[in-house]
Amino acid sequence: MCMVGGKVMMDRHAPQGLLDTAEMGYDETRAVIAQWHGKGRNHVAITPRFAITSTPEQMRAAQTLANEFPDLHIQTHLSENDEEIRFTCELFPEATDYTDIYARYDLLREKSLMGHAIHLSEREADVMAQTRAVAVHCPTSNLFLGSGLFPMKKLMRRDKPVRVATATDIGGGSSYSMLKTMDEAYKIQQLLGERLNPLDSFYAMTRGNAEALSLADDIGTLEEGTTADLVILDAASRRR
């Protein structure tokens, strides 16, 4: 299995048993990198949960890791709901907006995966486009939690398009299935007056996600020389 994962860094605003420190987050991430990154099909991601649960010291630790290991993915959350945005900006008053927080710590890069990214301003979308960071659409989670409607088509057809991936976010979502996930993505676009072609949905969960992960040379297609990363669907299974 191809895995992209990392040690979650949280040193505030979380249950005591889940908290680390900026130093622990750095040291434990380095240990995970040494043990797992590049072993088999494993990729390690630098993973500050989101700005609310990381102090400026921990954000700087994540920045140091990103500079020391520039080939690693970075994964976190961005602009999931209005209350989160308000609280986050209160915690980092020097920042222009939520996206600027990550930009100030140099965490917006081609391999940065920003979960949700529903409520981006035009300025924030421009920054995402400029840095080539990825807005990760999590439709079942967004609907289950009532977070908002992700403007997928709008972001993708901007003069400065934002790269988009699709994901389950099973912690807040309601299904492991990417088929169900894209079914819900279709409904969200319908509510926004847009259409999501089924072929576009299939592309999004295969080659599109591989490109968003910067792994298209290895997965996401049936081209010769790539990994046979296949899922077999039995259309008759529901009748058994």
What pLDDT score does 149 carry?
98
- Please tell me the distance from the alpha carbon of residue 6 to that of residue 218, in angstroms, as a whole number: 20
CB 179 within 8 A of CB 130: no
Tens-of-pLDDT digits for all 240 residues of the chain?
899 999 999 999 999 999 999 999 999 999 999 999 999 999 999 999 999 999 999 999 999 999 999 999 999 999 999 999 999 999 999 999 999 999 999 999 999 999 999 999 999 999 999 999 999 999 999 999 999 999 999 999 999 999 999 999 988 999 999 999 999 999 999 999 999 999 999 999 999 999 999 999 999 999 999 998 888 888 887 665
Q: For residue 215, count other CB atoms closer than 10 A to its CB.
A: 20
Q: What residue spans of the chain are helical by DSSP H?
A: 22-36, 56-68, 82-91, 98-104, 122-131, 139-145, 152-156, 178-191, 198-203, 209-212
Would you state the structure tokens that stand for residue 116, as one six-digit string?
């949700």
> Residue 79's closest CA among 59, 92, 98?
98
- Please tell me the distance from the alpha carbon of residue 205 to that of residue 219, in angstroms, as a whole number: 11
Where do we find the tokens 């995970």? 32
What pLDDT score does 231 carry?
82
Number of domains in the chain: 1
What pLDDT score does 152 carry?
98
- Please tell me the distance from the alpha carbon of residue 120 to that of residue 113, in angstroms, as a whole number: 15
Amino acid at 124: E
Where do we find the tokens 């676009």? 189
What pLDDT score does 238 carry?
66
Burial 150-189 (b: 16+ CB within 10 A, else e): bbbbebeeeeeebbbbbbbbeebbbbeebeebbbbbbebb
What pLDDT score does 236 carry?
81
- Please tell me the distance from the alpha carbon of residue 164 to that of residue 154, in angstroms, as a whole number: 11
Q: For residue 6, count other CB atoms closer than 10 A to its CB.
A: 22
Q: For 223, which DSSP code?
A: -
- State phi, psi for 190 to the nearest 5 degrees: -60, -40
- Cα 31 from chain centre: 22
What pLDDT score does 24 carry?
98
pLDDT tens digit string along 40-61?
Answer: 999 999 999 999 999 999 999 9
What pLDDT score does 1 carry?
85
Residue 77, domain extent: 3-239
CATH of the domain at 216: 3.20.20.140
| DSSP line for 43-77 | EEEEEE--GGGS-HHHHHHHHHHHHH-TTSEEEEE
What pLDDT score does 136 carry?
98
Q: For residue 10, count other CB atoms closer than 10 A to its CB.
A: 20
The two beta strands, 134-137 and 163-166, are: parallel
